[in-house]
Protein backbone atom coordinates (compact mmCIF):
# COMPACT_ATOMS: atom_id res chain seq x y z
CA UNK A 1 0.00 0.00 0.00
CA UNK A 2 1.18 3.53 -0.68
CA UNK A 3 -0.07 6.94 0.26
CA UNK A 4 -0.64 6.14 3.95
CA UNK A 5 -1.86 9.35 5.59
CA UNK A 6 0.42 10.58 8.37
CA UNK A 7 -0.61 12.83 11.24
CA UNK A 8 0.96 15.88 9.58
CA UNK A 9 -1.01 15.19 6.40
CA UNK A 10 -4.18 14.75 8.43
CA UNK A 11 -3.76 18.11 10.05
CA UNK A 12 -3.25 19.80 6.70
CA UNK A 13 -5.54 18.16 4.17
CA UNK A 14 -7.47 15.18 5.47
CA UNK A 15 -11.12 15.38 6.36
CA UNK A 16 -13.57 13.10 8.05
CA UNK A 17 -16.00 11.02 6.05
CA UNK A 18 -18.64 10.98 8.72
CA UNK A 19 -19.00 14.59 9.76
CA UNK A 20 -21.62 15.87 12.12
CA UNK A 21 -23.69 12.99 13.12
CA UNK A 22 -25.52 14.33 16.14
CA UNK A 23 -29.27 14.07 16.24
CA UNK A 24 -31.26 17.28 16.61
CA UNK A 25 -32.77 17.95 20.00
CA UNK A 26 -36.24 16.92 18.84
CA UNK A 27 -36.03 14.93 15.59
CA UNK A 28 -39.22 14.87 13.56
CA UNK A 29 -40.29 11.56 12.07
CA UNK A 30 -43.73 12.51 10.79
CA UNK A 31 -44.50 13.32 7.20
CA UNK A 32 -42.92 16.71 6.42
CA UNK A 33 -45.51 17.83 3.89
CA UNK A 34 -49.31 17.64 3.90
CA UNK A 35 -50.85 14.74 2.10
CA UNK A 36 -47.92 12.34 2.25
CA UNK A 37 -47.93 8.99 3.97
CA UNK A 38 -47.18 8.84 7.67
CA UNK A 39 -44.45 6.63 9.08
CA UNK A 40 -45.38 3.10 10.07
CA UNK A 41 -45.96 2.91 13.84
CA UNK A 42 -44.20 0.40 16.02
CA UNK A 43 -40.68 -0.53 16.98
CA UNK A 44 -38.05 1.66 18.56
CA UNK A 45 -38.22 5.41 18.25
CA UNK A 46 -35.49 6.31 15.74
CA UNK A 47 -34.32 8.99 18.16
CA UNK A 48 -33.17 6.19 20.44
CA UNK A 49 -30.97 4.56 17.80
CA UNK A 50 -27.19 4.87 18.06
CA UNK A 51 -25.50 7.49 15.92
CA UNK A 52 -23.20 6.40 13.11
CA UNK A 53 -19.60 7.59 13.15
CA UNK A 54 -19.14 8.23 16.87
CA UNK A 55 -15.59 6.92 16.50
CA UNK A 56 -14.66 9.62 14.03
CA UNK A 57 -11.63 11.86 14.20
CA UNK A 58 -9.09 10.68 16.74
CA UNK A 59 -11.00 7.40 17.08
CA UNK A 60 -12.84 5.72 19.93
CA UNK A 61 -10.77 4.55 22.90
CA UNK A 62 -12.38 1.12 22.59
CA UNK A 63 -11.76 0.72 18.86
CA UNK A 64 -14.23 0.41 16.01
CA UNK A 65 -17.91 1.25 16.09
CA UNK A 66 -19.93 -1.27 18.05
CA UNK A 67 -22.85 -3.01 16.30
CA UNK A 68 -26.30 -1.67 17.04
CA UNK A 69 -28.86 -3.85 18.82
CA UNK A 70 -31.67 -1.41 18.11
CA UNK A 71 -34.34 -2.10 15.56
CA UNK A 72 -37.39 -0.30 14.26
CA UNK A 73 -40.14 -0.99 11.75
CA UNK A 74 -41.01 2.68 11.32
CA UNK A 75 -40.67 4.23 7.90
CA UNK A 76 -37.85 6.81 8.00
CA UNK A 77 -38.86 10.35 7.18
CA UNK A 78 -36.48 10.43 4.19
CA UNK A 79 -38.49 7.68 2.46
CA UNK A 80 -41.76 9.36 3.35
CA UNK A 81 -40.41 12.57 1.85
CA UNK A 82 -39.04 11.13 -1.41
CA UNK A 83 -41.60 8.30 -1.90
CA UNK A 84 -39.30 6.05 -3.96
CA UNK A 85 -41.96 3.33 -4.01
CA UNK A 86 -43.76 5.35 -6.69
CA UNK A 87 -40.67 5.01 -8.91
CA UNK A 88 -40.31 1.28 -8.16
CA UNK A 89 -43.19 0.65 -10.55
CA UNK A 90 -40.74 1.57 -13.33
CA UNK A 91 -37.32 0.71 -11.92
CA UNK A 92 -35.64 -0.65 -8.80
CA UNK A 93 -32.10 -0.16 -10.02
CA UNK A 94 -31.48 -3.71 -11.25
CA UNK A 95 -28.39 -4.04 -13.40
CA UNK A 96 -26.75 -0.80 -12.22
CA UNK A 97 -23.62 -0.78 -10.03
CA UNK A 98 -23.16 2.08 -7.58
CA UNK A 99 -19.71 2.47 -6.03
CA UNK A 100 -19.47 3.68 -2.45
CA UNK A 101 -16.05 5.31 -2.02
CA UNK A 102 -15.34 5.76 1.67
CA UNK A 103 -14.71 3.65 4.74
CA UNK A 104 -15.81 0.28 3.32
CA UNK A 105 -19.12 -1.62 3.34
CA UNK A 106 -19.87 -4.37 5.87
CA UNK A 107 -22.36 -6.97 4.52
CA UNK A 108 -23.33 -8.26 8.00
CA UNK A 109 -26.74 -6.57 8.03
CA UNK A 110 -27.86 -8.72 5.11
CA UNK A 111 -29.79 -5.89 3.43
CA UNK A 112 -27.64 -6.01 0.30
CA UNK A 113 -28.71 -9.60 -0.26
CA UNK A 114 -25.67 -10.77 -2.24
CA UNK A 115 -25.45 -7.56 -4.26
CA UNK A 116 -22.19 -6.35 -2.69
CA UNK A 117 -18.93 -6.57 -4.65
CA UNK A 118 -15.75 -5.98 -2.58
CA UNK A 119 -13.47 -3.57 -4.38
CA UNK A 120 -9.96 -2.47 -3.44
CA UNK A 121 -8.92 -1.19 -0.03
CA UNK A 122 -6.38 1.55 -0.57
CA UNK A 123 -5.39 1.95 3.07
CA UNK A 124 -5.25 -0.24 6.14
CA UNK A 125 -5.72 -3.94 6.73
CA UNK A 126 -8.35 -6.31 5.41
CA UNK A 127 -10.53 -5.80 2.36
CA UNK A 128 -13.24 -3.28 1.57
CA UNK A 129 -15.87 -5.23 3.54
CA UNK A 130 -14.19 -4.11 6.78
CA UNK A 131 -15.80 -0.86 7.95
CA UNK A 132 -14.51 0.34 11.30
CA UNK A 133 -16.29 3.69 11.09
CA UNK A 134 -19.59 2.36 9.71
CA UNK A 135 -20.11 5.31 7.42
CA UNK A 136 -19.74 3.47 4.11
CA UNK A 137 -22.10 0.72 5.27
CA UNK A 138 -24.66 3.35 6.22
CA UNK A 139 -24.41 4.95 2.76
CA UNK A 140 -24.74 1.60 1.00
CA UNK A 141 -27.93 0.88 2.94
CA UNK A 142 -29.45 4.23 1.93
CA UNK A 143 -28.67 3.45 -1.69
CA UNK A 144 -29.61 -0.20 -2.09
CA UNK A 145 -31.00 -1.91 1.03
CA UNK A 146 -33.55 -4.52 -0.01
CA UNK A 147 -37.21 -4.30 0.90
CA UNK A 148 -38.19 -6.53 3.83
CA UNK A 149 -41.61 -7.59 5.04
CA UNK A 150 -42.59 -5.72 8.17
CA UNK A 151 -39.67 -3.29 7.90
CA UNK A 152 -40.20 0.33 6.93
CA UNK A 153 -36.62 1.05 5.87
CA UNK A 154 -35.39 0.32 2.34
CA UNK A 155 -32.82 1.78 -0.01
CA UNK A 156 -33.80 4.11 -2.83
CA UNK A 157 -32.70 1.53 -5.43
CA UNK A 158 -33.34 -1.81 -3.67
CA UNK A 159 -32.09 -3.96 -6.56
CA UNK A 160 -28.93 -2.02 -7.47
CA UNK A 161 -25.50 -3.53 -6.88
CA UNK A 162 -22.93 -1.94 -4.56
CA UNK A 163 -19.19 -1.82 -5.25
CA UNK A 164 -17.29 -1.09 -2.02
CA UNK A 165 -14.06 0.92 -2.34
CA UNK A 166 -12.26 1.70 0.93
CA UNK A 167 -9.96 4.74 1.07
CA UNK A 168 -9.97 5.83 4.74
CA UNK A 169 -8.23 4.81 7.94
CA UNK A 170 -10.10 3.46 10.96
CA UNK A 171 -11.14 6.97 11.96
CA UNK A 172 -12.64 7.78 8.56
CA UNK A 173 -9.78 10.02 7.41
CA UNK A 174 -8.24 10.07 3.94
CA UNK A 175 -6.13 12.19 1.60
CA UNK A 176 -6.78 13.56 -1.90
CA UNK A 177 -4.40 11.01 -3.43
CA UNK A 178 -6.17 8.06 -1.78
CA UNK A 179 -9.61 9.38 -2.65
CA UNK A 180 -8.58 9.97 -6.28
CA UNK A 181 -7.32 6.41 -6.47
CA UNK A 182 -10.64 5.19 -5.07
CA UNK A 183 -12.60 7.07 -7.74
CA UNK A 184 -10.47 5.44 -10.43
CA UNK A 185 -10.97 2.04 -8.80
CA UNK A 186 -14.73 2.57 -8.88
CA UNK A 187 -14.69 3.43 -12.58
CA UNK A 188 -12.49 0.43 -13.37
CA UNK A 189 -14.91 -1.76 -11.41
CA UNK A 190 -17.76 -0.94 -13.77
CA UNK A 191 -19.70 1.50 -11.59
CA UNK A 192 -22.13 3.73 -13.50
CA UNK A 193 -22.65 5.88 -10.40
CA UNK A 194 -19.88 6.76 -7.93
CA UNK A 195 -21.07 7.97 -4.52
CA UNK A 196 -18.19 9.71 -2.75
CA UNK A 197 -18.80 9.94 0.98
CA UNK A 198 -16.18 12.59 1.69
CA UNK A 199 -15.56 16.29 1.18
CA UNK A 200 -11.95 17.47 1.22
CA UNK A 201 -10.75 21.09 1.37
CA UNK A 202 -7.97 20.39 -1.16
CA UNK A 203 -7.22 18.04 -4.02
CA UNK A 204 -8.35 19.84 -7.15
CA UNK A 205 -5.55 18.47 -9.33
CA UNK A 206 -5.61 14.80 -8.24
CA UNK A 207 -9.38 14.56 -7.96
CA UNK A 208 -9.94 16.51 -11.17
CA UNK A 209 -7.93 13.94 -13.11
CA UNK A 210 -9.76 11.07 -11.40
CA UNK A 211 -13.20 12.52 -12.10
CA UNK A 212 -12.37 13.05 -15.77
CA UNK A 213 -11.17 9.46 -15.93
CA UNK A 214 -14.39 8.18 -14.36
CA UNK A 215 -16.58 10.34 -16.58
CA UNK A 216 -14.74 9.06 -19.64
CA UNK A 217 -15.61 5.52 -18.58
CA UNK A 218 -19.31 6.37 -18.32
CA UNK A 219 -19.66 7.00 -14.57
CA UNK A 220 -21.38 9.94 -12.87
CA UNK A 221 -19.57 11.10 -9.72
CA UNK A 222 -21.82 12.40 -6.93
CA UNK A 223 -20.37 13.99 -3.80
CA UNK A 224 -21.36 16.13 -0.77
CA UNK A 225 -21.33 19.86 -1.45
CA UNK A 226 -19.87 20.56 2.00
CA UNK A 227 -18.32 18.58 4.84
CA UNK A 228 -20.61 16.98 7.37
CA UNK A 229 -20.48 19.17 10.47
CA UNK A 230 -19.75 18.41 14.11
CA UNK A 231 -17.49 16.19 16.12
CA UNK A 232 -14.14 16.94 17.67
CA UNK A 233 -11.60 15.66 15.18
CA UNK A 234 -8.27 17.48 15.41
CA UNK A 235 -8.16 17.46 11.60
CA UNK A 236 -11.70 18.77 11.11
CA UNK A 237 -11.71 22.39 9.93
CA UNK A 238 -12.97 24.93 12.42
CA UNK A 239 -14.72 26.85 9.65
CA UNK A 240 -16.30 25.74 6.36
CA UNK A 241 -13.59 25.36 3.71
CA UNK A 242 -13.42 27.51 0.63
CA UNK A 243 -14.18 24.43 -1.47
CA UNK A 244 -15.25 20.84 -1.00
CA UNK A 245 -13.62 18.36 -3.35
CA UNK A 246 -14.55 16.51 -5.45
CA UNK A 247 -17.98 18.26 -5.36
CA UNK A 248 -16.45 21.60 -6.41
CA UNK A 249 -15.32 20.09 -9.73
CA UNK A 250 -17.50 20.85 -12.78
CA UNK A 251 -18.29 17.24 -13.77
CA UNK A 252 -19.41 16.23 -10.26
CA UNK A 253 -23.00 16.43 -9.02
CA UNK A 254 -22.81 18.36 -5.72
CA UNK A 255 -25.45 17.54 -3.08
CA UNK A 256 -26.60 19.35 0.06
CA UNK A 257 -28.76 17.99 2.86
CA UNK A 258 -32.27 18.74 4.11
CA UNK A 259 -33.73 18.59 7.60
CA UNK A 260 -37.07 16.83 8.26
CA UNK A 261 -38.91 20.11 7.64
CA UNK A 262 -37.57 20.20 4.08
CA UNK A 263 -35.18 23.10 4.73
CA UNK A 264 -31.38 23.12 5.10
CA UNK A 265 -30.44 22.13 8.66
CA UNK A 266 -29.70 25.01 11.00
CA UNK A 267 -25.99 25.63 11.20
CA UNK A 268 -25.33 23.85 7.89
CA UNK A 269 -22.11 24.87 6.23
CA UNK A 270 -22.27 27.07 3.18
CA UNK A 271 -21.27 25.27 0.01
CA UNK A 272 -19.40 26.78 -2.92
CA UNK A 273 -21.77 25.10 -5.40
CA UNK A 274 -24.91 23.00 -4.98
CA UNK A 275 -26.68 21.04 -7.73
CA UNK A 276 -29.30 19.11 -5.77
CA UNK A 277 -30.64 18.59 -2.27
CA UNK A 278 -31.97 15.49 -0.51
CA UNK A 279 -32.83 14.41 3.04
CA UNK A 280 -29.65 14.15 5.07
CA UNK A 281 -30.43 15.20 8.65
CA UNK A 282 -31.65 12.54 11.12
CA UNK A 283 -31.72 9.81 8.48
CA UNK A 284 -31.79 6.08 9.29
CA UNK A 285 -29.83 3.18 7.84
CA UNK A 286 -27.87 0.07 8.72
CA UNK A 287 -24.38 -0.09 10.19
CA UNK A 288 -21.53 -2.56 10.52
CA UNK A 289 -21.47 -5.77 12.50
CA UNK A 290 -25.13 -6.74 12.67
CA UNK A 291 -28.75 -6.12 11.82
CA UNK A 292 -29.40 -3.07 14.01
CA UNK A 293 -29.98 0.49 12.82
CA UNK A 294 -28.15 3.78 13.27
CA UNK A 295 -28.96 7.41 12.55
CA UNK A 296 -26.79 10.09 11.00
CA UNK A 297 -26.79 13.61 9.62
CA UNK A 298 -24.88 15.44 6.93
CA UNK A 299 -24.59 16.10 3.18
CA UNK A 300 -22.85 12.77 2.63
CA UNK A 301 -26.08 10.94 3.46
CA UNK A 302 -28.04 13.13 1.07
CA UNK A 303 -25.44 12.18 -1.54
CA UNK A 304 -26.34 8.52 -1.10
CA UNK A 305 -30.03 9.20 -1.74
CA UNK A 306 -29.23 11.08 -4.94
CA UNK A 307 -26.92 8.23 -5.99
CA UNK A 308 -29.76 5.76 -5.46
CA UNK A 309 -32.05 7.91 -7.60
CA UNK A 310 -29.40 8.00 -10.32
CA UNK A 311 -29.32 4.19 -10.25
CA UNK A 312 -33.10 4.06 -10.72
CA UNK A 313 -32.86 6.40 -13.71
CA UNK A 314 -30.02 4.46 -15.32
CA UNK A 315 -31.83 1.15 -14.96
CA UNK A 316 -34.87 2.68 -16.69
CA UNK A 317 -32.88 4.68 -19.26
CA UNK A 318 -29.60 2.75 -19.62
CA UNK A 319 -28.22 4.84 -22.50
CA UNK A 320 -27.95 8.03 -20.46
CA UNK A 321 -24.46 9.50 -20.47
CA UNK A 322 -23.08 10.96 -17.21
CA UNK A 323 -23.81 14.47 -18.44
CA UNK A 324 -27.37 13.67 -19.51
CA UNK A 325 -28.02 11.80 -16.29
CA UNK A 326 -26.89 14.80 -14.26
CA UNK A 327 -29.00 17.11 -16.41
CA UNK A 328 -32.04 14.85 -15.94
CA UNK A 329 -31.67 14.80 -12.16
CA UNK A 330 -31.41 18.59 -12.07
CA UNK A 331 -34.24 19.21 -14.55
CA UNK A 332 -36.70 16.92 -12.78
CA UNK A 333 -35.94 18.09 -9.24
CA UNK A 334 -38.64 19.72 -7.14
CA UNK A 335 -37.54 23.29 -7.69
CA UNK A 336 -37.52 25.83 -4.86
CA UNK A 337 -39.36 29.10 -5.39
CA UNK A 338 -36.11 31.02 -5.86
CA UNK A 339 -33.73 31.86 -8.64
CA UNK A 340 -31.90 28.74 -9.82
CA UNK A 341 -29.52 27.48 -8.73
CA UNK A 342 -30.42 28.28 -5.13
CA UNK A 343 -27.27 28.71 -2.97
CA UNK A 344 -28.43 26.05 -0.49
CA UNK A 345 -30.74 23.82 -2.57
CA UNK A 346 -29.27 24.08 -6.07
CA UNK A 347 -31.94 23.10 -8.60
CA UNK A 348 -34.10 21.61 -5.88
CA UNK A 349 -34.87 18.35 -4.10
CA UNK A 350 -34.24 15.16 -6.03
CA UNK A 351 -37.48 13.51 -7.21
CA UNK A 352 -37.16 9.76 -7.94
CA UNK A 353 -40.39 9.31 -9.89
CA UNK A 354 -39.93 12.45 -11.99
CA UNK A 355 -36.31 11.51 -12.70
CA UNK A 356 -37.57 8.36 -14.42
CA UNK A 357 -40.84 9.36 -16.01
CA UNK A 358 -40.51 12.97 -17.14
CA UNK A 359 -39.91 13.28 -20.91
CA UNK A 360 -37.15 15.77 -21.73
CA UNK A 361 -35.95 17.19 -25.05
CA UNK A 362 -33.43 14.92 -26.72
CA UNK A 363 -34.44 11.76 -24.87
CA UNK A 364 -33.26 8.79 -26.87
CA UNK A 365 -34.09 5.97 -24.49
CA UNK A 366 -37.30 7.10 -22.88
CA UNK A 367 -39.93 4.41 -22.73
CA UNK A 368 -42.44 5.49 -25.40
CA UNK A 369 -45.81 6.46 -24.10
CA UNK A 370 -48.88 4.93 -25.77
CA UNK A 371 -50.01 7.17 -28.59
CA UNK A 372 -53.32 8.85 -28.04
CA UNK A 373 -55.48 7.52 -30.87
CA UNK A 374 -58.97 8.56 -31.80
CA UNK A 375 -61.00 5.94 -33.65
CA UNK A 376 -63.31 7.48 -36.23
CA UNK A 377 -66.17 4.98 -36.66
CA UNK A 378 -68.47 5.51 -39.66
CA UNK A 379 -72.13 5.71 -38.69
CA UNK A 380 -74.40 2.98 -40.16
CA UNK A 381 -76.86 3.93 -42.93
CA UNK A 382 -79.94 5.61 -41.48
CA UNK A 383 -83.04 3.50 -40.99
CA UNK A 384 -85.72 4.95 -43.37
CA UNK A 385 -88.63 3.97 -41.15
CA UNK A 386 -88.05 6.63 -38.48
CA UNK A 387 -87.57 9.28 -41.14
CA UNK A 388 -90.80 8.27 -42.90
CA UNK A 389 -92.64 8.37 -39.61
CA UNK A 390 -91.16 11.80 -38.93
CA UNK A 391 -92.23 13.05 -42.35
CA UNK A 392 -95.78 11.76 -41.89
CA UNK A 393 -95.99 13.28 -38.45
CA UNK A 394 -94.55 16.54 -39.71
CA UNK A 395 -97.00 16.68 -42.62
CA UNK A 396 -99.94 15.98 -40.30
CA UNK A 397 -98.92 18.75 -37.95
CA UNK A 398 -98.43 21.16 -40.85
CA UNK A 399 -101.85 20.34 -42.30
CA UNK A 400 -103.61 20.80 -38.99
CA UNK A 401 -101.79 24.08 -38.53
CA UNK A 402 -102.90 25.34 -41.94
CA UNK A 403 -106.54 24.36 -41.33
CA UNK A 404 -106.65 25.97 -37.93
CA UNK A 405 -104.90 29.05 -39.24
CA UNK A 406 -107.37 29.38 -42.13
CA UNK A 407 -110.32 29.04 -39.78
CA UNK A 408 -108.97 31.76 -37.53
CA UNK A 409 -108.40 34.05 -40.51
CA UNK A 410 -111.95 33.52 -41.73
CA UNK A 411 -113.35 34.30 -38.33
CA UNK A 412 -111.29 37.45 -38.09
CA UNK A 413 -112.32 38.47 -41.59
CA UNK A 414 -116.02 38.17 -40.86
CA UNK A 415 -115.56 40.37 -37.79
CA UNK A 416 -113.81 43.01 -39.91
CA UNK A 417 -116.35 42.81 -42.85
CA UNK A 418 -113.78 41.18 -45.10
CA UNK A 419 -114.84 40.26 -48.60
CA UNK A 420 -113.01 38.57 -51.46
CA UNK A 421 -111.15 41.08 -53.66
CA UNK A 422 -111.38 43.85 -51.10
CA UNK A 423 -108.93 44.98 -48.50
CA UNK A 424 -110.19 47.15 -45.72
CA UNK A 425 -107.71 48.76 -43.34
Residue range 126-151, pLDDT digits in tens: 899 999 999 999 999 999 999 998 88
Q: Which residues contact 16 (CB under 8 A, 6 or more apart)?
A: 53, 56, 57, 171, 172, 173, 198, 227, 228, 231, 233, 235, 236
Q: Is the pLDDT of residue 93 over 90?
A: yes
Query: In this predicted structure, which of 59-73, 106-120, 344-358 has the lowest mean pLDDT?
Result: 59-73
pLDDT-derived band at 269, boundaries 50, 70, 90: low
Q: Is the pLDDT of residue 425 over 70?
A: no
d(CA 289, CA 104) in angstroms, rounded, equals: 12
In sequence order, the β-bridge partners of residue 200 are 245
Q: Is the pLDDT of residue 3 over 70?
A: no
Q: Is the pLDDT of residue 413 over 80?
A: no
In tens, the pLDDT along 62-85 reads 578 999 988 888 899 999 999 999
Mean of per-residue pLDDT scores for the chain: 77
Q: Would you kindly state where each structural domain of the chain is located, as residue ranges?
A: 7-357, 392-425
Give the dihedral sign, CA 205/244/10/181.
negative
What is the 3-class SS of 155-201, one letter each residue?
CCCCCCEEEEEECCCCCCECCHHHHHHHHHHHHHCCCCEEEECCCEC
The answer to whether 151 and 210 have CB atoms below 8 angstroms apart is no
* pLDDT at position 306: 98
pTM of the model: 0.75
| CATH topology for the 7-357 domain | Rossmann fold (3.40.50)
Q: Which helix (H) or strand (E) is 118 found in, with range?
A: strand 116-121
Amino acid sequence: MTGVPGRSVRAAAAVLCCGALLLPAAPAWAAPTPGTATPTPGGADPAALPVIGQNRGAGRPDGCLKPSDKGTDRTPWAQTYLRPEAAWQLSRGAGVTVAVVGSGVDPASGVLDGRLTPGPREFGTGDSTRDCVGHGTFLAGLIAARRQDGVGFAGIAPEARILAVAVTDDAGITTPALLAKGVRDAADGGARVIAVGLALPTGEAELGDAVRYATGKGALVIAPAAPDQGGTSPSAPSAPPAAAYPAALPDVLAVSDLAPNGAPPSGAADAVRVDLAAPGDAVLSVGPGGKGYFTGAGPSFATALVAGTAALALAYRPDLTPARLADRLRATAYHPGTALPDPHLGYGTVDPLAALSTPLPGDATATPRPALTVSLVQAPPPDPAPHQAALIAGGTVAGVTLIVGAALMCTAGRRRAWRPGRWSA
